[in-house]
Amino acid sequence: MHLALIGYGEVGRILAEDLRAEGHEVTAFDLKLRTWEAVPIRAHALVHNVTLAESHRDAVRWAELTISAVTASQTIAAAEACAGGLATGTFFLDLNSASPSAKIAAAGQIAGGGGRYVEGAVMTAVPPHRLKVPLLLGGPDAEELLPRLDELGFAATVASGRLGVASATKMCRSVMIKSLEAMVIESLVAARRYGVEEAVLASLRETFPGIDWGKQASYFFERVIEHGRRRAEEMREAAITVRDAGIEPWSASGAAERQDWVADLADAGLFGKKVGAKRRKKLGHSSDWRVEADRILEHLKGAKEP
């Protein structure tokens, strides 16, 4: 099958690797190809024999299926940019972590270009599962796309023939998961400052005995440091989802601010010098959240000194 990938970040690259390994043709486009960050993108595409396009339209022109995996804030813009290049009747699978209202708006753009829009909600972290990550589909064309995704190796199920159901499921889950990330970072950095982190972790283990909280904390720190900006965008979409339900999104909005705060620190180089899209020194090398918490505390201490 000839596939187009819009967005060539972590998710896009994983999909490209797995789809190319099965012999499918993959053409990709990412806005970062127009910036200094193009170097690692081009290097990855060269290794995996992925064709890079010069624009959204060029990427989707010959595709039998287009998969959109951009940041949440670009969901509608990506659909609009692709719509004019899609062949009539071709599928557009939107995997972005966006609100139901954003997905419905994106669907309108694709329909206007003659394409067939299907929303996709990725229900857990992609890296451990790769192509087999649990995926909920939604929209009038979801049932028809499902067997094609099965052939490609996806682990998809249809949530509803109505747009917005799959994304609402994803966004409400994100209120829990991404807020938990933010709360763990906030709680344990403060606990480290007071010297009570072991007591806090012990209490968490007693209350939730099925979770290794030290290991979970290290994983949360690592993911937010690497992808805090993207997570903050997702949480703003989650906040829209909650607000559209008539509830003030205090938790989702606060989580977005905390995720952005960590992303700001990462961009400033607090957690190690960046090389392309990766940090030279990553938390995964130490497997201990305390290393990163101490960096944050040292930064905050220095910021207060005259």
C-alpha to C-alpha distance for 304 and 67, rounded to whole angstroms: 46
Residue entry with tokens 């938390």:
283
Examine the pLDDT at 282 and tell me if it is beyond 70: no
Side-chain half-sphere of 144: how many Cα atoms within 13 Å? 11
Compute the average pLDDT of residues 136-157: 97
C-alpha to C-alpha distance for 161 and 175, rounded to whole angstroms: 24
Residue 272: left if φ>0, alpha if ψ -120 to 50, beta else—which one?
left
3-state secondary structure the chain: CEEEEECCCHHHHHHHHHHHHCCCEEEEECHHHHCCCHHHHHHHHHHCCCEECCCHHHHHCCCCEEEECCCHHHHHHHHHHHHCCCCCCCEEEECCCCCHHHHHHHHHHHHHCCCEEEEEEECCCHHHHHHHCEEEEECCCHHHHHHHHHHHCCEEEEEECCCCHHHHHHHHHHHHHHHHHHHHHHHHHHHHHHCCHHHHHHHHHHHCCCCCHHHHHHHHHHHHHHHHHHHHHHHHHHHHHHHHCCCCCHHHHHHHHHHHHHHHHHHCCCCCCEECCEECCCHHHCCCHHHHHHHHHHHHHHHHCC
> Interior CA angle at 115 toward 112 and 118, to 5°?
110
Examine the pLDDT at 30 and tell me if it is beyond 50: yes
Cα torsion angle, 152, 156, 162, 166, sign: negative
Compute the average pLDDT of residues 196-210: 97
Residue entry with tokens 């753009």:
109
Compute the average pLDDT of residues 184-212: 97
Examine the pLDDT at 213 and tell me if it is beyond 50: yes
C-alpha to C-alpha distance for 304 and 130, rounded to whole angstroms: 43
C-alpha to C-alpha distance for 274 and 39, rounded to whole angstroms: 13
* pLDDT tens-place string over residues 218-229: 999 999 999 999
Record the pTM. 0.89
Compute the average pLDDT of residues 73-98: 96
Compute the average pLDDT of residues 3-27: 96
**108: exposed, middle or buried (C-beta count within 10 Å: 0-12, 13-18, 19+)?**
middle
Side-chain half-sphere of 179: how many Cα atoms within 13 Å? 15
| φ, ψ at 209 (rounded to 5°) | -65, -15
- Report the percentage of the chain scoring pLDDT > 70: 94
* pLDDT tens-place string over residues 170-182: 999 999 999 999 9
pLDDT tier for residue 273 given thresholds of 50, 70 and 90: low
pLDDT of residue 303: 78
8 A C-beta contact, residue 3 and residue 65: yes
C-alpha to C-alpha distance for 266 and 263, rounded to whole angstroms: 5
Which residue type occupies 194?
A: Y
Q: Pairing mode, if any, of strands 116-122 and 91-94?
A: parallel
Query: Domains of the chain, with CATH numbers?
Result: 2-161 (3.40.50.720), 167-304 (1.10.1040.10)
Q: Which residues pair with 2 in a beta bridge?
A: 25
Angle between helices 197-207 and 165-194 (to 10 degrees): 140
